[in-house]
Structure 1
Amino acid sequence: MKVKIESSKIIKPFYEDNIIPPSTKTYIPLSVFDKVTYEAQIAIIYAYRPPTPPNAAIQLGLQKALAIYREWAGRLGKDENGIPVISLNDEGVRFVEASADSTLDKVMPFKPSASLLNLHPRLNNVVELVQVQVTRFTCGSLVVGFTAHHTVADGHSTSNFLVAWGQACRGLDINPLPLHDRTIFNPRNPPLIEYEHKGTEFMSKSVKKENSLDESTHHVTEDIVVHKVHFTVEFLAKLKVKASSMNNNNNSNSNRPYSTFESLVAHLWRAITKARGLSGFETTHIRISVNGRMRLNPRVPNEYFGNLVLWAFPTSKVKDLLREPLPYATKLIHDAVVKVNNNYFRSFIDFANHKDEDLIPTADMNKHILCPNLEVDSWLRFPFYDLDFGMGCPYMFMPSYFPTEGMMFLLPSFIGDGSIDAFIPLFQDNLPTFKKICYSLDLA
Structure 2
Amino acid sequence: MASKKPQSKLWQTPSITDYTPLSVFDKVTYDQHVAVIYAYNPPTPPNAAIEFGVRKALAAYREWAGRLSRDSNGEPIILLNDEGVKFVEASVDRPLSETVHFRPSATLLSLHPSLEGVVELVQVQVTRFSCGSMVVGFTAHHLVADGHATSSFLVAWGQACRGLGVNPLPFRDRTIFSPRNPPNFESEHRGGFLNEWNQQALQHLESLVAHLWRAITKARGLNGLETTQVRISVDGRYRLNPRVPNEYFGNLVLWAFAKAKVNDLLSEPLPYATKLLHEAVMKVDDSYFKSFIDFANHKVKKEDLVPNAVADTKESILWPNLEVDSWLRFPFYDLDFGCGGPYIFMPSFSPTEGMIFLLPSFTGDGSIDVLSLYFRKV
Band the TM-score falls in, shorter-chain normalisation: over 0.9
Partner in structure 2 of residue 233 of structure 1:
none
Map 1:14-413 to 2 at 5 A.
24-107=16-99, 109-201=101-193, 259-357=203-301, 358-363=304-309, 364-413=312-361
Deviation at 1:368, TM superposition (A): 0.4
In the aligned structure 2, how far is the partner of 1:24 from the partner of 1:68? Answer: 17
Instruction: Report the AA paired with residue 71 of structure 2.
Output: D
Contact 2:328-2:360 within 8 A present in 1 as well? yes
Partner in structure 1 of residue 10 of structure 2:
11
Tell me, what secondary structure is at the counterpart of 2:298? coil
Tell me, what secondary structure is at the counterpart of 1:96? strand
Tell me the alpha carbon deviations over residues 53-110 of structure 1, each in whole angstroms, 9 at most, x when there is no partner.
0000000000110011000000000011111100000000000000123212224541
Tell me the alpha carbon deviations over residues 263-322 of structure 1, each in whole angstroms, 9 at most, x when there is no partner.
111000000000111111111111111100010000001100000000110111111100
Tell me, what secondary structure is at the counterpart of 1:390? coil
Query: After TM superposition, where is structure 1 displaced by more than 4 Å over at least 4 residues in a row?
Result: none
State the TM-score, normalizing by the size of structure 2: 0.94
In the aligned structure 2, how far is the partner of 1:394 from the partner of 1:417? Answer: 15
- Rg larger for: 1
Deviation at 1:146, TM superposition (A): 0.1
Instruction: Report the AA paired with residue 60 of structure 2.
Output: I
Deviation at 1:371, TM superposition (A): 0.5
Contact 1:289-1:309 within 8 A present in 2 as well? yes
Contact 1:43-1:148 within 8 A present in 2 as well? yes
In the aligned structure 2, how far is the partner of 1:87 from the partner of 1:265? Answer: 39
- Once superposed, what is the RMSD of the aligned Cα atoms? 1.7
In the aligned structure 2, how far is the partner of 1:430 from the partner of 1:178? Answer: 46
Tell me the alpha carbon deviations over residues 386-422 of structure 1, each in whole angstroms, 9 at most, x when there is no partner.
0000110011100100010001111111001111111
Contact 2:14-2:81 within 8 A present in 1 as well? no
Instruction: Report the AA paired with residue 187 of structure 1.
Output: P
Tell me the alpha carbon deviations over residues 223-263 of structure 1, each in whole angstroms, 9 at most, x when there is no partner.
xxxxxxxxxxxxxxxxxxxxxxxxxxxxxxxxxxx833211
* Structure 1 stretches lacking a partner, 5+ long: 14-20, 203-257, 432-444
Count the aligned residue pairs. Answer: 368
Deviation at 1:334, TM superposition (A): 0.9
Deviation at 1:118, TM superposition (A): 0.3
In the aligned structure 2, how far is the partner of 1:430 from the partner of 1:267? Answer: 20
In the aligned structure 2, how far is the partner of 1:356 from the partner of 1:329? Answer: 32
Partner in structure 1 of residue 197 of structure 2:
none
Instruction: Report the AA paired with residue 418 of structure 1.
Output: G
Go from structure 1 to structure 2 and tell me whether the alpha carbon gap of 1:112 and 1:421 turns closer, same or farther (over 3 Å shift): same
Tell me, what secondary structure is at the counterpart of 2:274? helix
In the aligned structure 2, how far is the partner of 1:145 from the partner of 1:307? Answer: 22
* Structure 2 stretches lacking a partner, 5+ long: 195-201
